[in-house]
Amino acid sequence: MRALVDLQGSFAHAMTSGDGAALGGHLRGGRDPGRRLAIHLRHYATSLAAALCDKFPASTWLIGDAAMREAAGAYTRFHPPRQPCIAEYGRDFPEFLARHPRAARLPYVRSFAELEWAVAQASIAVDAPPLSWTELTTCGAECLVESRLALQPGVHYVRAGWRVDELMQNYLSGVSPERFVLVNAATRIEVRGARGEFRLVRLDAATFAFRTTLAAGRTVGAAADAALGLDQRFDAGAALRALVDAELATASATGAQEPVR
Amino acid sequence: MSREDAVNALPTGVGLRLPHLAEVAAGTSGAAWLEAHPENFLANPHARELLLRARHDHPIALHTVGVSVGTATGLDRSHLARLRALVDELDPFLVSGHLAWSTHNGIYLNDLLPIPYDDDALRVVAANVHEVQEVLRRCYVVENPASYVAFSTSTRAETDFLAELASRTGCKLLCDVSNAYLSAANLGYDAYEYINGLPADAVAELHLGGFTRETDDAGAPVLIDTHAAAIDEPVWKLYAHAMRRFGPQPTLIEWDSALPAFAQLLSEAERADFVTHATFEGGAHARAG
């Protein structure tokens, strides 16, 4: 048993590092078994890098194929998958990409890749039945302040220092304008999608704080406080109504209960 | 096995990949049955919804690629729990996976890696298969791997290892005929003897898939299990032999990359059905003669 654990440990190291020297003596097959091992080592690196490139086509468009392949290859060495579903692999790739020498010259690359990840996640979601205003308010005003809401699974929030939503629209349009200026400005984006479709909505700072506080599982009261801290004119009642009218809320709960319908 | 039994057997199915999902879920695919990789659906709710829709019109089998029964560091129980939920939802007629490992201490290596065929590994794999069967509450079907290298420390033949695994756990076997052909070519043994060495009563499914001829880093020819091409002619002959040995079993056409139109997969499935019928018609004539 110990021998098998050690053998698989050496194999796993070979896969992630690309160095299979320690395994050569254990193998047979072909003229040189050590070189046959390269089939597995190559598959690890190329299949995962290809999966990342497939998952980030807009970021690939932004930084170029060669740079993306190089960054993706480096990511597979330093961040091997921790889950069997490769669809879940790459959540922290945008942060890695921003530090990679081939992309670091673009200060907005992390936000753009994070937006792309959010778009991909939103697109594969399935909407849950929305909560109605009557259902939400039936418990009364005091209870409502202490309520926590579940939002649609296809809703994601991205905060960026650049207008990366415009850059994304540019990529999605498939048309390269003669001149495009990416504005360096605080940008708060709500990504909402389901069943292969999505849309991007830019939010003001207070509404973004309100919705992201709710999305983080905190109460309606805490969300209102977060928004009012940024804008004293913020109307929490209207913001809550707008959230419900947009069918973004799916369940509510108070206390230790989870907001699950 | 009579010709009538062969004709009445489940026609050949095809592997369901995401690019074909919408077409298949629309109910117009023409496939006799489908095999899906659960790992493509567990983290994709929209795809899962479409798979459930496809289930209305097609029998479904699940073929796991992330269960890793060969791992010595323990199964991923949270993955097994998610798999169990999908199995409960779909009620597949068969759930299979590979005689391989792909995870070590929580790291997934995105490949089906070889294990040494010795008593220690057999104990580990048998314990893992037992656990999978307990969690899924059904018989697991274990597939022979596609091999490029083997371990010099192996003390058993792969067929003996699989037979003993089936005997200890009650699991069934999936004979991937293409893997048998490819591994035999890569490691230098006889594919027909390999088929003959598998316990016929344990075999519950057959796979057929395309491979790619390449040259390894030492300049030696090697067959790679790419599932990116039509099934090779020698594999069809080996398939006929496997059918004679195991009787008609649910057979699946696998095609994963360089994916053609769904119609081409159906065409490969039709050919498999033709081979099945021709095999048993020929056998009946021989017996009659």
Q: Looking at the complex, does the CB of residue A78 fall below 8 Å from at least one CB of chain B? A: no
Average pLDDT over residues B195-213: 97
pLDDT beyond 90 at B100: yes
Average pLDDT over residues B222-236: 96
Q: Looking at the complex, does the CB of residue A28 fall below 8 Å from at least one CB of chain B? A: yes
Q: Inter-chain contact A1–B72, Cβ cutoff 8 Å? A: yes
Predicted confidence at residue B134, as pLDDT, reads 98
Q: How far is B84 from chain A (nearest CA, A)?
A: 15
Predicted confidence at residue A71, as pLDDT, reads 97
* B259-279 confidence digits (pLDDT tens): 999 999 999 999 999 999 898
For A93, residues 6+ apart whose C-beta sits below 8 A from its C-beta are A52, A55, A56, A72, A75, A79, A113, A117
What sign does the dihedral B24-B27-B28-B32 (CA atoms) show?
positive
Return the structure tokens found at A185: 């400005």
- At residue B284 the predicted structure's pLDDT band, cuts being 50, 70 and 90, is very low
Identify the segments of chain A with pLDDT beneath 50. none
Write the single-letter amino acid at A48.
L
- Bridge partner residues of A148 (DSSP): A219, A253
- Nearest residue on chain B to A51, judged by CA atoms? B110
Average pLDDT over residues B90-111: 97
Return the structure tokens found at B225: 């299990």
Mark which residues 233-252 of A lie under 8 Å from B by CB. Answer: none
Angle between helices A236-245 and A205-215 (to 10 degrees): 70
Judge contact between A4 and B121, C-beta under 8 A. Answer: yes
Q: Inter-chain contact A27–B218, Cβ cutoff 8 Å? A: no
Q: Looking at the complex, does the CB of residue A182 fall below 8 Å from at least one CB of chain B? A: no
Q: Looking at the complex, does the CB of residue A17 fall below 8 Å from at least one CB of chain B? A: no
Q: Which residue has the higher pLDDT, B217 or B82?
A: B82
Please report residues of A whose CB lies closer than 8 A to that of B101.
8
Give me the DSSP letters along chain B.
--HHHHHHSPPPEEEE-GGGHHHHHTT----S-EEE-GGGTTT-HHHHHHHHHHHHHS-EEEE-SS--TT-SS---HHHHHHHHHHHHHH--SEEEEESSEEEETTEEEEEEE----SHHHHHHHHHHHHHHHHHHTS-EEEEPPP-S-EETT--S-HHHHHHHHHHHH--EEEEEHHHHHHHHHHHT--HHHHHHHS-GGGEEEEEEE--EEEE-TTS-EEEE----SPPPHHHHHHHHHHHHHH-S--EEEE--SS---HHHHHHHHHHHHHHHHHHHHHHHHHHH-
Q: Which CATH architecture has domain B3-288?
A: Alpha-Beta Barrel (3.20)
Nearest CA to A246 out of A168, A169, A154 is that of A154
- For an interface test with A, give the residue of B53, B152, B217, B227 to mutate (most A CBs within 10 A): B217
Q: Looking at the complex, does the CB of residue A176 fall below 8 Å from at least one CB of chain B? A: no
Q: B188 exposed, middle or buried (CB, 10 Å; 0-12, 13-18, 19+)? A: exposed
Judge contact between A15 and A40, C-beta under 8 A. Answer: yes
Phi and psi, residue A198, nearest 5°: -160, 165
- At residue B287 the predicted structure's pLDDT band, cuts being 50, 70 and 90, is very low
The closest CB to that of A3, out of B43, B101, B120, belongs to B120
Predicted confidence at residue B4, as pLDDT, reads 55
Q: Looking at the complex, does the CB of residue A195 fall below 8 Å from at least one CB of chain B? A: yes
- At residue B43 the predicted structure's pLDDT band, cuts being 50, 70 and 90, is very high
* A237-256 confidence digits (pLDDT tens): 999 999 999 999 999 998 77
pLDDT beyond 50 at B289: no
Predicted confidence at residue B245, as pLDDT, reads 96
Q: How far apart are CA B7 and CA B277, in angstroms?
A: 6
Predicted confidence at residue A2, as pLDDT, reads 61
Q: Looking at the complex, does the CB of residue A91 fall below 8 Å from at least one CB of chain B? A: no
Domain boundaries, chain B: 3-288
- Cβ contacts below 8 Å, chain A against chain B, sum to 155
Residue position matching structure tokens 């801290």:
A229
pLDDT beyond 80 at B281: no
Please report residues of A whose CB lies closer than 8 A to that of B105.
9, 12
Cα B238 off chain centre by: 15
Q: Inter-chain contact A82–B108, Cβ cutoff 8 Å? A: yes
